[in-house]
């Protein structure tokens, strides 16, 4: 269902309590305190996803320990049901399951986690991410990050993250970025952003507004957008009217089923804000709930997207907003 490119989505208030003080403008150069998580924490090497040598680690897909300003992530195997029943591992079957999953999510985000739990096998390990910014890499890196290489084989998986965020300042915001093979974001249980691999036919699966697709997406079925950077390579979502002091539920899903490389990079734009431009695109900040550490910035360095790692933080705790979990 297409929407007017000039429309703005006003989101319903979710019951919260907030204090009068507000932390705004937290930047990527801020404190990294707490990312180590204890013995053996931090970003190490060896698995290609930032796994440390001890019990705790922080990698491209998140950390294996809970943090206040983070989203909880679950990895699903699109090839098997929870009891082990095969759903199909061929190319056509994997892609069909990916399309089915995103169609179901868009049709009812309120029960998204329950639906995925009932339909697909999942990794035992949960990861906690302060951002969804994963540069292109081999699809098998997801199963390594969730420590399920033996149980779940790439390709054919879907990662689902959920949590809460709050804006440092009231205004109109939208999500911007890239997603390969598919990516969707819901705020207040409504789809507000989608991205997909150009010329793959996936655009017929996910909903998008008139102004969501990159410039040139209709030229040669978008093939010129396959290998950015180039002008107009990013997808942009719905403008959202967001209020300071209010918590908003966010759900993010991204999936890989074609094989080879995948990527998921989510930025944030505020209407009326002036951003630096490198001649191709405005340099928008990564959407992050907490500042990225120096190690994380190096780990997630991305050459196929124009972006900056310094910008506001959208974590509810950093913005002094409390969420009443019973309102979910």
For every one of its 328 residues, what pLDDT tens digit does the chain have, with 9 covering 90 and above?
A: 333 334 455 554 433 333 323 223 333 323 333 333 332 333 333 333 444 444 677 889 999 999 889 999 999 999 999 999 999 999 889 988 998 999 899 888 999 999 999 999 999 999 999 999 999 899 999 999 999 999 999 999 999 999 999 999 999 999 998 888 889 999 999 999 988 876 555 555 555 555 656 655 555 445 555 444 444 468 889 999 999 999 999 999 999 988 888 989 999 999 999 999 988 789 999 999 999 999 899 989 987 778 999 999 999 999 999 886 333 4
Q: Which of 175, 151, 166, 150 is nearest to 254 (CA)?
A: 175
What pLDDT does 33 receive?
Answer: 30
Helix or strand or coil: residue 167? coil
Only one residue has tokens 């208030």, namely: 13
Q: Which residues contact 236 (CB under 8 A, 6 or more apart)?
A: 174, 175, 176, 193, 211, 212, 214, 269
Distances (CA, A) of 189 to 12, 105, 183, 252: 10, 9, 15, 11
Pair of tokens at residue 223: 């093939």
Picking from 246, 215, 243, the residue whose alpha carbon sits closest to that of residue 230 is 215
Specify the pLDDT at position 279: 81
Provide the pLDDT for residue 1: 32
What are the φ and ψ backbone dihedral angles of 112, each rounded to 5 degrees?
A: -60, -50
Q: In the chain, what are the domains?
A: 60-319 (2.60.120.380)
Of residues 77, 45, 49, the one with CA closest to residue 63: 49
Backbone angle region of 112, left / alpha / beta, with phi > 0 → left and psi within -120 to 50 → alpha: alpha
Distance between CA 77 and CA 97 in Å, rounded? 10
The per-residue pLDDT for 54 is 45
> Which pLDDT value is given to residue 19?
30
Question: CA triplet 278, 284, 285: central angle to 5 degrees?
Answer: 130
68 CB neighbour count, 10 Å cutoff: 13
Count CB atoms within 10 A of the CB of residue 278: 9
| Count of C-beta atoms within a 10 Å radius of residue 322 | 14
281 secondary structure, DSSP code: S
The tokens describing 164, both together, are 């809460």
> In angstroms, rounded to a whole number, what is the distance separating the alpha carbons of residues 160 and 114?
11
User: What pLDDT does residue 306 have?
Assistant: 85
pTM score, whole prediction:
0.80
Residue 222, both tokens: 């978008």
Write the CB contacts of 194 (distance below 8 Å, at least 6 apart in sequence): 179, 182, 183, 184, 185, 206, 207, 208, 212, 235, 237
Q: What is the pLDDT of residue 201?
A: 58
pLDDT of residue 308: 94
Q: Are 289 and 295 in contact (CB under 8 A)?
A: no
Rounded to whole angstroms, the maximal C-alpha distance in the chain is: 55
Q: Please tell me the number of Cα atoms within 13 Å of 64 on its side-chain side.
A: 22
Residue 304 near residue 135 (C-beta atoms within 8 A): yes
């Amino acid at each position: 269902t297409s929407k007017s490119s000039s429309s703005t989505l006003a989101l319903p208030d979710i019951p919260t309590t907030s204090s009068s003080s507000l932390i705004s403008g937290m930047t990527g150069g801020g404190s990294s305190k707490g990312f180590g998580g204890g013995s053996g924490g931090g970003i190490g090497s060896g698995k290609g996803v930032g796994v440390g040598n001890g019990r705790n680690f922080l990698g491209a897909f998140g950390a294996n320990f809970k943090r206040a300003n983070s989203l909880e992530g679950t990895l699903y195997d699109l090839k098997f049901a929870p009891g082990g029943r095969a759903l199909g591992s061929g190319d056509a079957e994997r892609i069909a399951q990916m399309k089915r999953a995103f169609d179901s999510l868009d049709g009812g985000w309120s029960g998204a986690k329950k639906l995925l739990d009932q339909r697909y096998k999942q990794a035992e390990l949960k990861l906690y991410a302060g951002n969804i910014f994963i540069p292109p890499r081999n699809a098998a890196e997801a199963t390594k990050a969730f420590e399920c290489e033996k149980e779940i084989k790439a390709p054919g998986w879907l990662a689902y993250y959920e949590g809460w965020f709050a804006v440092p300042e009231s205004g109109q915001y939208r999500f911007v970025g890239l997603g390969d093979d598919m990516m969707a974001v819901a705020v207040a249980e409504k789809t507000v952003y989608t991205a997909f691999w150009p010329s793959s036919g996936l655009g017929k699966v996910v909903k998008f507004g008139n102004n969501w697709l990159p410039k040139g997406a209709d030229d040669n079925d978008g093939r010129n957008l396959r290998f950015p950077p180039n002008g107009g390579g990013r997808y942009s979502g719905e403008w959202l009217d967001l209020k300071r002091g209010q918590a908003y539920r966010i759900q993010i899903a991204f999936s890989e089923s074609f094989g080879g490389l995948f990527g998921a990079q989510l930025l944030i734009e505020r209407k009326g804000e002036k951003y630096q431009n490198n001649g191709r695109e405005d340099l928008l900040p990564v959407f992050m709930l907490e500042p990225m550490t120096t190690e994380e910035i190096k780990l997630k360095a991305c050459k196929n997207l124009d972006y900056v790692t310094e910008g506001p933080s959208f974590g509810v705790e950093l913005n002094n907003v409390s969420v009443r979990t019973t309102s979910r």
